[in-house]
């Protein structure tokens, strides 16, 4: 009977060792899966953030370039205005700014030239 009890104990110990090994493997597998999903999520988030940021920066750089051209007197700027967000509104307003002088008939370039000529002429007066 003692021999049978020992065999039962040995089998129980073997089953317990197998169960421990299975639990360890399950934990390792779950940990690896979670880390993989986390890495993919972080990489995807960074990629999407970069793509969104690049789109915003490009549109802002375009609007800044147009604003600079308008500031320098070039009112013949044309650009996309199909966006419905804040940058699209900025683009729409820049387009309105560039059209206003032409709509009102302001000959700004000619006026600027006349001012320059007048200033040059007054500099020659003793």
Q: What is the pLDDT of residues 59-108, one digit of tens each?
A: 888 888 888 887 777 777 666 667 788 888 888 888 777 776 555 555 55
> How many domains in the chain?
1
Say if CB 77 and CB 98 are below 8 A apart.
yes
Q: Between these two residues, 86 and 120, which has the higher pLDDT value?
A: 86
DSSP state at residue 72: T
Task: Tell me whether residue 124 is in a domain.
Answer: no
**Mean residue pLDDT across the chain:** 81
Task: Tell me whether residue 79 is in a domain.
Answer: yes
Q: Helix (H, G, I), strand (E, B), or coil: what is residue 82?
A: coil
Task: Tell me whether residue 22 is in a domain.
Answer: no
Task: Tell me whether residue 76 is in a domain.
Answer: yes
Say if CB 70 and CB 94 are below 8 A apart.
yes
Task: Tell me whether residue 59 is in a domain.
Answer: yes
Range of the domain at 73: 44-119
Rounded to 10 degrees, what is the CA torsion of 86, 87, 90, 91?
-140
Say if CB 33 and CB 26 are below 8 A apart.
no
């Amino acid at each position: 009977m003692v021999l049978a009890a020992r065999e039962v104990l040995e089998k129980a110990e073997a089953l317990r060792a197998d169960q421990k090994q299975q639990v360890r493997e399950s934990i390792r597998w779950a940990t690896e899966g979670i880390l993989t999903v986390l890495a993919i999520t972080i990489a995807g988030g960074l990629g999407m953030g970069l793509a969104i940021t690049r789109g915003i920066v490009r549109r802002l750089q375009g609007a800044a370039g147009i604003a600079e051209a308008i500031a320098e007197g070039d009112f013949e700027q044309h650009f996309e205005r199909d966006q419905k967000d804040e940058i699209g509104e900025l683009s729409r307003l820049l387009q309105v700014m560039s059209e206003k002088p032409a709509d009102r008939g302001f000959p700004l370039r000619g006026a600027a030239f006349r001012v320059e000529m007048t200033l040059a002429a007054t500099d020659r007066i003793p």
